[in-house]
């Protein structure tokens, strides 16, 4: 690698924001085989840059640390960009996955993130500051997390809505 390539790679590293990771759930799972039960672990991990991107990953392995590492790698590959307006959501949205429903609502400044479990983790790592959320139906952590991500990906900024309607932005 020559000097120019080294400088270019250093610039890319500086531009990327630091990713934070949080483990949402660790479960011990078993597989019944001929010789008995084979134990393993499943880790559900959320990765985000605290600005606007967040990803969900699931890792499975014989040891907890390996499962978490695999989950983090999967989450980094599955990152999504989330529309935000001054640290909150542009509009109300309902995310659905399986029997899990998550209602996400924007909140005024100073409210904070009012949510629990996987929803709270995802919203915080996505950089949301003021949001109210309610999880309805199944409380399976993976399904709630996926429902939250489905809701966040359905968000549209004001500019996107105006473009879809064929309107111009008035200043």
Report the chain (171 residues): mean pLDDT per 10 consecutive residues: 54 67 95 94 95 94 96 95 90 95 94 93 94 95 96 88 83 67
Which residue reads 């009012």 in tokens?
114
The pLDDT, as a whole number, for residue 7 is: 55
The pLDDT, as a whole number, for residue 28 is: 97
Beta-bridged to residue 95, according to DSSP, are: 102
Helix or strand or coil: residue 50?
Answer: coil
* Length of the chain as a residue count: 171
In a shared domain, residues 109 and 136: yes
pTM of the model: 0.84
End-to-end CA distance of the chain: 49
- Which is it for the CA torsion 121, 127, 129, 132, positive or negative? negative
In a shared domain, residues 95 and 36: no
The pLDDT, as a whole number, for residue 134 is: 96
The pLDDT, as a whole number, for residue 16 is: 63
Domain assignment of residue 134, yes or no? yes
Which of 53, 80, 107 marks a domain boundary? Answer: 80
Domain residue limits at 129: 82-161
């Amino acid at each position: 690698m020559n000097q120019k390539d080294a400088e270019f790679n250093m610039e890319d590293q500086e531009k990327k924001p630091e990713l934070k990771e949080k483990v949402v759930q660790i479960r011990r799972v078993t597989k019944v085989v001929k010789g008995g039960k084979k134990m393993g672990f499943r880790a559900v991990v959320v990765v985000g840059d605290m600005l606007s991107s967040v990803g969900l990953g699931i890792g499975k392995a014989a040891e907890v640390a390996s499962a978490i590492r695999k989950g983090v790698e999967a989450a980094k590959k599955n990152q999504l960009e989330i529309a935000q307006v001054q640290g909150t959501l542009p509009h109300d949205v309902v995310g659905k996955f399986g029997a899990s429903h998550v209602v996400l609502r924007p909140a005024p400044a100073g409210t904070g993130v009012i949510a629990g479990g996987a929803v709270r983790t995802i919203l915080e790592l996505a950089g949301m500051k003021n949001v109210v959320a309610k999880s309805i139906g199944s409380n399976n952590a993976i399904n709630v997390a996926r429902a939250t991500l489905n809701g966040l990906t359905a968000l549209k900024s004001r500019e996107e809505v105006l473009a879809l309607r064929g309107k111009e932005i008035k200043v």
